[in-house]
Amino acid sequence: MKLYEQDSCGVGFVCNINGRADNDIVRWGVEAVKNLTHRGAIGGDGKTGDGAGVLTQIPRKFFKRIIDQLGYSLSSLDNLAVGVFFLYEDIEDKIVAEFVKEGIKVLGWRDVPIDTDAVGETALKVMPKIKHLLLDMEGIPEEQRDVKLYLLRRKIENKFGDSKVYIPSLSTREIVYKGMLVAPQLDRFYPDLTEEDYESAYCLFHQRYSTNTLPNWRLAQPLRLSAHNGEINTIQGNRNWMIALQNELEHEVLGDKKELIKPLVSYDESDSASLDKVFELLCLVGFSPEHAINMLIPPAWEHVPELSEEVKAFFEYQSLLMKPWDGPAAIAFVYKDKIGAHLDRNGLRPARYVLTEDGILVLGSEVGMIDLGERKIKEKGRLGPGDTIVVDLKEGSVKKTGEVLEELASRKPYREWIEKNLLRLSHLTEGKALGFPKDDPERIRKQIAFGWTQEEIKNVLQYMAETGKEPTFSMGDDTPLPPLSEKPKLLFRYFKQRFAQVTNPPIDPIRERLVMSLKMNLGHKRNFLKETPEHAKRLQIDSPILLDYQLKAIEEQTEFKVCRIPICYPKERSYNIVELQDMAGERRISELIMDALYEEIPINDLMMGIETLQRRVEEAVREGAQIIILSDRYINKHRVAIPSLLAVSACVKHLAKQGLSTRVSFIVETGEARDTHQIACLIGYGASAVYPYLAYETIKELCDSGKLDIHY
């Protein structure tokens, strides 16, 4: 498909802040998304687009007419629920059977009127059948309806799969009209949107510009509760943690059906779809939408003096629950009687708004999206970095960032919970001398074993020690790719930094210090669907790169059980009792001998070493360890080190399979890592902190020899 690149997604909403539903809101929303067409992409056929759509309240007056025309009997308009289905196979009867099993009255199917002339040839080839399923929720308490429909949707999704069905919306309140369209064709393709009795108090709209996924009917936005402009740069890490954390997730509203939420996210969907799924779940279990969005995409808060201590405590507590979904983002969201928008901490996406005196609020990627006629403007402005705006349709109020954050911070005693439970490494090391590790007579042997070169020491390590900066080079790299090289390479060389696929400027950690943080939290990562004092029981470090005295302080503290496990395995079958004692660590020597006598795999096999390591790590976690130090310090002529990146990733993956990965954090004590890329790889694959002991020992040797003029 030939795409004419223009700009990033267009997103926004139109609403009546007093909650009054009328057709003008829908008409304006469709007009706005049409005027954002240039923010999408158009296929070579001139009609196929990345996707466009709107999310509105269910137009009850409209559906009352439809239901009467179809001859269905509805107990009350308040009991109406509508499901929008993209069907790729004829499974309507099977889907209805699932609703009947759950005691939900099914009125019947409605074929959604569409005009296929409005669809491009490419999109038409993959277009699903688009149907509405009309439901009567009579007899189901109102407070249970959201959860019941959500769990039923997840059951259908898991049972039939994306290849057979996709459900854009299934709700008693919201309905989605979207497709693989160009925005100007939206209301032509869906004539429903032109009906005069189609009324809503809000219309959330989106024109998609896909970057990380190809255009798809399913991935058009709005999603179930949100529409997103931007991309999540940390998406792979966030998805990995969501998959790991889903084993911890439970909430009383989910009852005994919590297994239905798995998998919480998918690696095959867009980053926006994954974000929407987590946002939806948070709202469903009781988080307000403004709370959920600030938890997922927090603003800069650590170095912002204007924020109160209570607000800072709120965000620090949220950081203990979940990693931020960082990236350039402008997101519009809706849940129940609230609609709003939020900007990422860098403010790299536009979001401007206009509020009229008669209560019409228009927010979007650009100004002038719709013609408001002679209406008088009461207020206009834009969202800045990390800002939130929320409209409460029931109260008729508009709340901005300051009011929103103060209200969120006052809901629970976050500051008290943190002061009582959060252990800070900076407090443990207060007043302690920096110092260097002791001289190691095996240092040169270890440097050779870990592939150190004089060039690295002189051009990389020495430069970083002198300047405190990462070295950068303008020359190209003509060395062979690691898989094609005749010489052995460190495992780190097989990995490259994965950049965002749109034109985001690189982050400058010095000039943009305000929006950056290196803090990490160690210990048990608990169920993020609840907020309790126990969630604050973590060990906080200011940087993932540890110094000697910091590692010692972590090992000496008694709040969290620490276990040190070598990532070395024997080179030969025979060894003396001293070597056995060194290898055993906290294990019994008899157990280690049994490992050595294991006959199915030779003792010098790397796979044997990894399996033994995984078993020891699992045992340590089951015995209560919350911090595990994986160390290759014990390498010598009798013991071979598992590559540190392979060791930590194998342990994380093994614990994830056992449902244990959230209970522990890993510190990697390694002689391999000596530059930023290598340390970033270790953190990216599961380490919470790295202690590069051999790099420190090498720096000390450079100082002692006079090659570095640094006093310690």
Segments of the chain with pLDDT less than 70 = 1-8, 38-47, 210-213, 498-511, 572-604, 710-712
Give the 3-state secondary structure of residue 680: helix
Q: What is the pLDDT of residue 609?
A: 87
Q: What is the pLDDT of residue 639?
A: 86
Instruction: Please check whether residue 1 is in contact with residue 182, taking contact to mean a CB–CB distance below 8 angstroms.
Output: no
Q: What is the pLDDT of residue 171?
A: 97
Full DSSP string of 192-256: GGG-TT--BSEEEEEE---SSS---TTT-S--SSEEEEE--TTHHHHHHHHHHHTTT---TTTTT
Q: What is the pLDDT of residue 346?
A: 84
Q: What pLDDT, in 10s, does the model give residues 500-527? A: 555 555 666 666 777 788 899 999 999 9
Q: What is the pLDDT of residue 430?
A: 87
Q: What is the pLDDT of residue 575?
A: 45
Full DSSP string of 390-447: EEETTTTEEE-HHHHHHHHHTSS-HHHHHHHHPEEHHHHTTT-----PPP-TTHHHHH
Contacts of 411 (CB under 8 A, 6+ apart): 291
Q: Phi first, then psi: what are they for 635, rounded to 5°?
A: -65, 140
Active-site residues: which are they?
Answer: 9
Burial track 99-131 (b if 16+ CB lie within 10 A, e otherwise) = beeeebbbbebbebebeeebbbebbeeebbbbb
Q: What is the pLDDT of residue 549?
A: 92
pTM for the full predicted model: 0.90
